[in-house]
Homo-oligomer: A and B are copies of this chain.
């Protein structure tokens, strides 16, 4: 059958552009015994994919020029010669960026039956939600009553981190890039929200928002945010380093903060993490999160682009702050 997929056509220099992507038709072979055909319903775009567009050694292999991109997706089996994946089954895989594909089921997981939209398995119930939960609980060891600072706080990871901390009885300070995002986070009950684009001095604004200091910083941004957090951390504070999106499109080295000596003065612990290394805890996480979602204790916001052709726009939009909550592409 005829399908469509998006290739990496050139490696971005700075912010990705449409020229880096190429939507192409592809002929899929008939399925063989032990294979099945998937129609993708949803695909995810995530900031970490920017790293895979660079040709360098990292914790995950770089995308190959001229080949289809990869990323989290949810699809439906529409033809099958595989007993474990019957027609009608919903599956998650890393084979996003394509309308259909044939597979033998390697690295595919059947989605459980749920009254929730299956798209949440790419967001609050999937990798981004698990990232927030892991960073707070397993890396920073956030405790009840502490003060948390979250950057990129209206994003897929940040918005979950804010809500999980609130459920733990923590005071939450959030940083976002627009007043509209700030208003929304306040409506979720976040204690204080800073629009970093409209304050003169982020460190001073954080001090006003958290006069008692910050116990845990959930780092998604880097740069000025990292420096402001260091300034405001309490003794023995912890920083879970999840991402540094401010730097992903840098074309030249950007100097780091000048206040790193505070790591000593305040006896801080700073730890980077990759959620996939913690995946053994995914069942524990989903059990808790599904309950919070169903009771409304956690609200899962999504920003949805329509159609495979819009995927590059959705991805580029991540770096322009165009998403509130999880950025998704609805494929059919």
Q: For chain A, which range describes its interface: under 10, 10 to 19, 20 to 34, or 35 or more residues? A: 20 to 34
Residue A319 at the chain B interface, CB threshold 8 Å: no
CB distance from A162 to the nearest CB of B (A): 20
CB distance from A105 to the nearest CB of B (A): 30
Cα distance, A51 to B265, chains bound together (Å) = 10
Interface centre among A241, A253, A259, A266 (most CB of B within 10 A): A241
CB distance from A232 to the nearest CB of B (A): 13
Main secondary structure of the interface of A (DSSP, over half): loop
Residue A83 at the chain B interface, CB threshold 8 Å: no
Query: When each residue 258-278 of chain A gets 1 if its CB lies under 8 Å from chain B and 0 otherwise, what string results?
Result: 111111111111111110010
Q: Which of A31-39, A63-71, A115-123, A242-250 contacts B (4 or more CB under 8 A)?
A: A242-250
Q: Point out the residues of chain B lying under 8 angstroms from A277, CB to CB.
A: 267
Each complex incorporates copies of this chain amounting to: 2
CB distance from A250 to the nearest CB of B (A): 8
Residue A106 at the chain B interface, CB threshold 8 Å: no
CB distance from A79 to the nearest CB of B (A): 40
With A268-B272, A269-B270 in contact, is A261–B59 under 8 Å at CB?
Answer: no
Residue A222 at the chain B interface, CB threshold 8 Å: yes
Q: Point out the residues of chain B lying under 8 angstroms from A261, CB to CB.
A: 222, 244, 247
Q: Point out the residues of chain B lying under 8 angstroms from A259, CB to CB.
A: 253, 256
- For chain A, residues 190 to 237, give those with C-beta under 8 angstroms from any C-beta of chain B: 222, 226, 235
Q: CB < 8 Å: which of B255, B264, B265, B270 contacts A256? A: B255
Shortest 8 CB-CB contacts between residues of A and residues of B: A256-B256, A255-B255, A253-B258, A263-B272, A264-B272, A270-B270, A269-B271, A244-B261
| New A-B pairs, 12, CB < 8 Å, besides A226-B260, A242-B264, A268-B271 | A59-B267, A241-B263, A253-B259, A255-B255, A255-B258, A256-B257, A265-B272, A266-B272, A267-B271, A267-B272, A269-B271, A269-B272
